[in-house]
């Protein structure tokens, strides 16, 4: 075949291909687009226009019901502070915590004028009881509550508990929307939760996250007698200044925690937030409502977490639990036979693996309650029953007046008015003197105890603890003043 013939055949083949292509195009150009069937499910292009109202969200990811249910029950709290150095206007009550860990964002400058702090609260009953954080309203001279429907009320403080950073407020109204309190013990790590509050003055803000951890101790609360309880629920739901006191709820719209703190190097949300679990909230608020003060129940032990190092040092055959460092004399633990070196693994039949969990389980009780404590001693497991006592070393409940009789002297907490008048921070006032050590020492009625052996006394509880820790027969130096401002010092045999 010569080159001419080859060229002619190539041209003919090309023309034939073109005619075939054009003919095929005309044959199919008017056919509709086909939907390919795969079984019974149609396969569509990704840009197909779906009706969003027909979409069904899986039950475990549907936040709409919980958000609608709880938002009306979360309030905005505005606290006014007068006559004290406060951070600049518009700052958050979270600042007091941020300054402890990350320095003062205001450069140490404060203003000696009225200022306002903002936070959130949760309506827990239709008759106007509201839960919030103590640090939201602490030292406030006026508290205003703004509801989701824009109604505004003045609130009164029913009671506070700095050891859990909780407070109970009351507004005079009925028929309010409230949030049902759930069981925080049933909350599981990985469970979806919503945080509802008023961050940065953005009212009724809802954010979502999961429970990241339970029983978390972040060492943010401070208590002179080391009675603080930190067993927080940790979550990655976004929480910022202004969320304090707001609700952490599950997808059923039940309160599982009160949002309290955030872990942050900046003062704003950085990934993790912390909430007081609802079971502890419920117990504390019930106490404040009924007695005016929290009925703290104690085992009377010093404890630490078990770890591999401690297990090796002490010859323990367990790697988790709560190690008993010391047992206080005449405490509930002492009466039950708990000993130094025991490892507590359960309280009330519920497993505990760290100190925060044990403290929470015990704190859910009142003085006089009996709890079963399961422990390991010398490699053997045993269960004992302990009767819990209060901070005064008795099994009775205390009233908000916190009166107590000690060795013939009846004491009460020094009122706020007298504290301001005398320039004192706390104190225990002697109301009545009968036969006993106080009369023998020459101490008269009206005397205010401010120190025992140089240990500051802020309340009757402090006085009781200072005296019960003193060995019999030793001498004590009692410092204080009378109501006319006269300072006095007494030596008393104890």
DSSP state of 126: T
Q: Which residue has the tokens 């925690």?
A: 257
Count, residues in the chain: 494
Structural domains in the chain, sorted by start: 64-292 (2.40.10.120), 301-387 (2.30.42.10), 404-493 (2.30.42.10)
pLDDT level of residue 18 (50, 70, 90 thresholds): low
pLDDT level of residue 224 (50, 70, 90 thresholds): low
- Note the pLDDT tens digit of each residue in 468-482: 655 455 688 999 999
Distance CA 275, CA 260 (A): 5
Residues 6+ apart with CB under 8 A from 419: 425, 426, 427
Give the number of other CB atoms < 10 A from CB of residue 171.
22
- Note the pLDDT tens digit of each residue in 450-470: 999 888 898 887 787 777 655
pLDDT the model gives residue 282:
97
Q: Which residue out of 120, 135, 287, 342 is catalytically annotated?
A: 135
Question: Is 135 noted as a catalytic residue in this protein?
Answer: yes
Distance CA 344, CA 322 (A): 5
Residues 6+ apart with CB under 8 A from 434: 408, 409, 410
Distance CA 98, CA 119 (A): 15
pLDDT the model gives residue 473:
56
- Percentage of the chain beyond pLDDT 90 is 59
Residues 6+ apart with CB under 8 A from 95: 87, 105, 106, 241, 267
More confident residue, 299 or 50: 299
- Note the pLDDT tens digit of each residue in 433-454: 988 889 989 999 999 999 998 8
- Residues 273-293: what's their mean pLDDT? 94
pLDDT level of residue 178 (50, 70, 90 thresholds): very high
pLDDT the model gives residue 83:
58
Q: Is the pLDDT of residue 243 over 50?
A: yes
- Residues 23-48: what's their mean pLDDT? 39
The mean predicted confidence, pLDDT, of the chain is 83
Question: Is 412 noted as a catalytic residue in this protein?
Answer: no
Do 464 and 404 contact (CB within 8 A), yes or no? yes
pLDDT the model gives residue 226:
74
DSSP state of 389: B
Q: Which residue out of 165, 287, 413, 462 is catalytically annotated?
A: 165
- Note the pLDDT tens digit of each residue in 96-150: 444 444 345 445 454 456 788 999 999 999 999 999 999 999 989 999 999 999 9
Name residue 168's beta-bridge partners.
Answer: 131, 159
pTM of the model: 0.73
- Note the pLDDT tens digit of each residue in 369-409: 999 999 999 999 999 999 999 877 888 877 655 677 787 88
- Note the pLDDT tens digit of each residue in 70-101: 999 999 999 998 754 444 434 444 444 444 44
- Residues 58-75: what's their mean pLDDT? 87
pLDDT level of residue 156 (50, 70, 90 thresholds): very high
- Residue of 460, 316, 298, 453 whose CA lies nearest to 364: 298
Q: Is the pLDDT of residue 367 over 90?
A: yes
pLDDT the model gives residue 447:
96
Separation in Å, CA 214 to CA 44, 217, 234, 271, 361: 44, 9, 6, 16, 13
């Amino acid at each position: 075949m010569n080159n001419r013939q080859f060229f002619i055949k190539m041209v003919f083949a090309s023309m034939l291909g073109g005619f075939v292509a054009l003919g095929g195009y005309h044959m199919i150009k008017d056919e509709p687009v086909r939907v390919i069937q795969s079984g019974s499910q149609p396969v569509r292009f990704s840009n197909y226009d779906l009706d969003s109202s027909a979409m069904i969200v899986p039950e475990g990811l549907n936040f709409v019901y919980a958000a609608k249910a709880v938002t009306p029950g979360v309030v905005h709290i505005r606290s006014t502070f007068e006559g004290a150095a406060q951070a600049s206007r518009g700052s958050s009550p979270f600042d007091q915590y941020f300054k402890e860990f990350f320095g003062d964002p205001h450069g140490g400058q404060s203003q000696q004028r009225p200022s306002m702090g903002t936070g959130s609260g949760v309506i827990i009953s239709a008759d106007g009881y509201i839960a919030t954080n103590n640090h939201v309203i602490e030292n406030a001279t006026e508290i205003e509550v703004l509801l989701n429907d824009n109604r505004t009320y003045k609130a009164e403080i029913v009671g506070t508990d700095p050891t859990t950073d909780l407070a109970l407020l009351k507004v005079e109204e009925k028929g309010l929307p409230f949030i049902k309190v759930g069981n925080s013990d049933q909350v599981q790590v990985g469970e979806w939760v919503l945080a509802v509050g008023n961050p940065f003055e953005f009212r009724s803000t809802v954010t979502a996250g999961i429970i990241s951890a339970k029983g978390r101790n972040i060492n943010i609360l401070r208590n002179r007698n080391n009675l603080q309880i930190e067993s927080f629920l940790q979550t990655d739901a976004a929480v910022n200044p202004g969320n304090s006191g707001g609700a952490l709820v599950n997808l059923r719209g039940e309160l599982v925690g009160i949002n309290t703190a955030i872990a942050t190097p900046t003062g704003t949300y950085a990934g993790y937030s912390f909430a007081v679990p609802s079971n502890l909230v419920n117990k504390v608020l019930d106490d404040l409502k009924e007695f005016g003060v929290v009925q703290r129940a104690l085992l009377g032990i010093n404890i630490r977490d078990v770890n591999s190092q401690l297990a090796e040092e002490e010859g323990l055959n367990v790697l988790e639990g709560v190690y008993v460092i010391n047992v206080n004399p005449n405490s509930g633990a002492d009466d039950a036979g708990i000993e130094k070196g025991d490892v507590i693994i359960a309280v009330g039949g519920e497993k505990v693996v760290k100190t925060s969990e044990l403290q929470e389980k015990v704190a859910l009780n009142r003085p006089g309650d009996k709890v079963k404590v399961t422990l390991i001693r010398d490699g053997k497991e045993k269960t004992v029953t302990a009767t819990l006592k209060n901070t005064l070393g008795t099994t009775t409940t205390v009233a908000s007046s916190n009166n107590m009789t000690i060795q013939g002297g009846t004491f009460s907490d020094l009122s706020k008015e007298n504290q301001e008048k005398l320039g004192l921070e706390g104190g225990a006032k002697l109301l009545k003197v009968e036969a006993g050590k106080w009369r023998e020492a020459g101490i008269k009625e009206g005397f205010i105890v401010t120190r025992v052996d140089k240990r500051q006394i802020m309340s009757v509880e402090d006085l009781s603890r200072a005296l019960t820790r003193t060995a019999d027969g030793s001498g004590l130096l009692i410092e204080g003043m009378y109501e006319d401002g006269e300072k006095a010092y007494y030596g008393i045999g104890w």
